[in-house]
Amino acid sequence: MSSSDPPHHRCSAVVVMILLLLGFSLVAADDVSWSDDSGLESPGCTNKFQMVKVLNWVDGVKGDYFTGLTAQFGASVPSDADQSVRFPAAFVNPLDSCSNLSSRLDGRIALSVRGNCAFTEKAKNAEAAGASALLVINDKEDLDEMGCMEKDTSLNVSIPVLMISKSSGDALNRSMVENKNVELLLYAPKRPVVDLTAGFLLLMAVGTVVIASLWSELTDPDQAHESYSILAKELSSGGTRKDDPEKEILDISVTGAVFFIVTASIFLLLLFYFMSSWFVWVLTIFFCIGGMQGMHNIIMAVILRKCRNLGRKSVKLPLLGTMSVLSLLVIIFCLAFAVFWFVKRHASYSWAGQDVLGICLMITALQVVRLPNIKVATVLLCCAFVYDIFWVFISPLIFNESVMIVVAQGDSSSGESIPMLLRIPRFFDPWGGYDMIGFGDILFPGLLISFASRYDKIKKRSISNGYFLWLTIGYGVGLLLTYLGLYLMDGHGQPALLYIVPCTLGLVVILGLVRGELKELWNYGIEESETRTPEDPLPVA
């Protein structure tokens, strides 16, 4: 790369701000799910609440499916569409089904609005009129649980009863007002026991951390080896080394680690109280800028590793100054990629572009922000550990809902969501949805693993005798435990650092104690920094 190029590892204020303020730490499944909080149970009223797909045909043309929730009473719904039967649908009269119906519904699926009577009463009236099933249209988008009353001591409803959302009911009503023939089919597909796409997401997270930790060796192995050798000699002799002017490094301090968590908490609360579409748009633009810059750095490093001569020809541009032609072309490509993703961010395939930009952003951030020793790592990760648990599990006791989960879901009114997470579709799940992992669950352990990689290189440790390999394995185990917790809690978002921190920070402390190196790891670099004059910069590996 020519000297006129923007520094290879330089990170703009936008990237640092995104890293500091938007390190959301959450593993979740963005999908259709329901936790069974059954209330009053009595004979005939012991069903578990279950999500149901409602397939619909209008004049023989199949449309999108609606989602429904079964009642605590009534017949069960087949788990396979082939085992279910297609029935015509009809609105009841009266619409709320709170009294005897005025006409027969032999073989039809009854559609009723919510009304003021008990759900069990609606079901009895629909069944008495010969309906094959009852769909209650809610007066809002949420699906409420339809339970039994205390007086329903012995209930015998033999037809399926479920609730659909207001928008689903409106769509059916529009078709029926136009005198079209509407047919419905109900079934409740079962989710796979093992979520294979979660494994892909785990590989993406671990791969991002490994690539970021070994980036200098992957892109310029000769220079990296020389840098580590020189730094090892200077540190062993108590000397100092001047920074490479082409690199911009931010070493986190103990104060900075605490400030990081406090600032992230304040920003999380701002998002919780003032979430709106324009707020999410601003954050999405910051994400695009940071991801675009990260992609530029990565592409330039990969190209120049093989073809260094390509970066010699330069051009002078207004505002941008002098830069290589290659860098300019890469910037144009990255800009086009980011703009295309921004425009198409609601498309079904947008997850791929979001993951590419996010991974590029995190790899670049882990080159810029570093942990100097295990002392700072302990403060940062322990604070993040408490931060994660508090905002996911404890915040509902104060704010009536999980602040972290609400913020991660974005602005429901506009459909906008914050892109600071990796996500992948659940390809093998009939309910679809996404598996997600927040940037914080990659960046926090990534900082520790990157430190371990640098430490091993400077100390010339082998793979088995070092810390990098074992921390990487520990990180993978922590993610596996996180997904196990996600499964056992029926898809409820998990504070991943609850599992990751003990498997990484706890592991390095145990290894350090066993090897007698914990004191060195804890105070690594402190003696050297104390011998420098204030003008001397920190050493950079």
Q: Which residues contact 267 (CB under 8 A, 6 or more apart)?
A: 21, 22
Specify the DSSP element, H or E, that contains 484.
helix 468-488
Catalytic entry in 5, 31, 411, 441: 441
Note if 388 is an active site residue. yes
Q: How far is CA 17 from CA 23, 365, 414, in A?
A: 10, 10, 25
State whether residue 290 is helix, strand or coil.
helix
Backbone dihedral region of 327: left (phi > 0), alpha (psi from -120 to 50 degrees) or beta? alpha
DSSP class of 441:
H
DSSP class of 154:
S
Distance CA 210, CA 197 (A): 20
And the tokens for 501? 């921190």
The answer to whether the beta carbons of residues 152 and 45 sit under 8 Å apart is yes
And the tokens for 130? 């010969």
SS3 of 294-357: HHHHHHHHHHHHHCHHHHCCEEEECCCEEEEHHHHHHHHHHHHHHHHHHHCCCCCCHHHHHHHH
Residue type, 445: P
Q: Which residues pair with 70 in a beta bridge?
A: 162
SS3 of 227-262: HHHHHHHHHHCCCCCCCCCCCCCEECCHHHHHHHHH
Q: C-alpha 434: how far from its chain's center?
A: 9
Number of H helices, E strands in the chain: 18, 15
Specify the DSSP element, H or E, that contains 55.
strand 51-58
Catalytic entry in 388, 411, 435, 456: 388
Residue with tokens 């198409």: 344
The answer to whether the beta carbons of residues 448 and 472 sit under 8 Å apart is no
Distance CA 84, CA 80 (A): 7
Which burial class, exposed, middle or buried, applies to 140 when counting CB atoms under 10 A from its CB (0-12, 13-18, 19+)? exposed
Note if 5 is an active site residue. no
Name the residues annotated as catalytic: 388, 441
